[in-house]
Structure 1
């Protein structure tokens, strides 16, 4: 014959609490935080540095970069002053002298204006290589092959540069870039959105929900599991002050145990609470928690 475990009996647990033999352990404090979006300014490595090095070493297609004309009229590629020229050359390449009749451009001359207006950027490449030698593809032979040749500055670009006082004498691309290429900062400041956690003042419902979740919706006195009837689990303020939400002043109780706390007999006059108490008694029977009444 299996006898009931009266140490689990609701009334005995209540008696032990009143005698001070048992006590309800304090709930752990709950931190109320929420995620908010915040703007943050950070320093990052300037991506222009890597691109500037790439421009020195190779020719980059104009249709793959951001091409603009600076305030001084000089061609800029991703914000870097650069020259532009046609890489695939159908004629004019002298393979023996390594020269070409094609020209490179630095300014918004008539040729570059025409290129922009006609949307033919795909024919041009850009570079900041400063030795005056340019890789081109000679299409006058079959099969076409790449060769490095010397190109001269476009005559119209030369006239424009002289008019702006930007034609150093003696002229070379190296002197031009050394003099007129702005220094690229190694770091730049970037604004980005970050998600941070910040504390906030919760309302009573949030406080009750979080502490009941912490207790797994189990009454701290009788031990009934109210997770299937969560409305029957309450947050009790021991000192009767509903604004005192210190964790040591709180306990998670079922409706029945809550109604038996000091100064709470009014709960038995509320039909909603009476119904919840009946639900709790059913749960106790289902969970094998003995009751004398």
Structure 2
């Protein structure tokens, strides 16, 4: 960590000498593992979870605040027919229907994986009947009709064939999104660093706020590299306007958890001189 800090400091000095804008790098917040839970749940492979950890909210599956569905990746001897499209393969489940109730009763419920990927494509495995070896592949699976009936999704009981054929996971998750409105939302906390378009966002927000520090009021339109954009909630991917505040380098360094941020003495003196000069004009 010490070596990384020294390298970042050296890069910072080079940026200053070139007149570039500096951004705060929180060593505690930025250098950390990416949220693997979010990644795994949104993948085609899904995540193996303990049945006891699954909650039921309004008839739907919930895992650690995430709306999920369940599927069985193991297709055994049916693997080849499934990937070749000769049969539909294991169905994925939206709620605890009669199929899942039977699986639970038979002690086979732990065979399921959880996911909230809306593509409808899942990673499965089984035995290749040609080579007689275990293989895996990605294939489109189909929704469980028992689940549709239990939820009576889109009035399924009155129009079964059409609802089943036109079923869309993306539409399903959107339909029930309001059921989970009180759950934590992903605002980018699962990713590291700034958004790819951060330079554009930073320039635009500083221009909109007329190149003035929103804490001390100093105007820095002639010293733009000393004016930063700070994320109030600490999530550097969350570029909602209400989360962004424009601060001079000194005010930025005084924000909570910014003790690591160094402002050169010459820049501090310049900021204070500009601040005093502009105050005298008022």
TM-score bin, normalised by smaller chain: 0.3 to 0.5
- RCO higher in 1 or 2 (8 Å CA, sep ≥ 6)? 1
Higher helix share: 2
Higher strand share: 1
**Larger Rg, first or second structure (1 or 2):** 1
State the TM-score, normalizing by the size of structure 1.
0.41
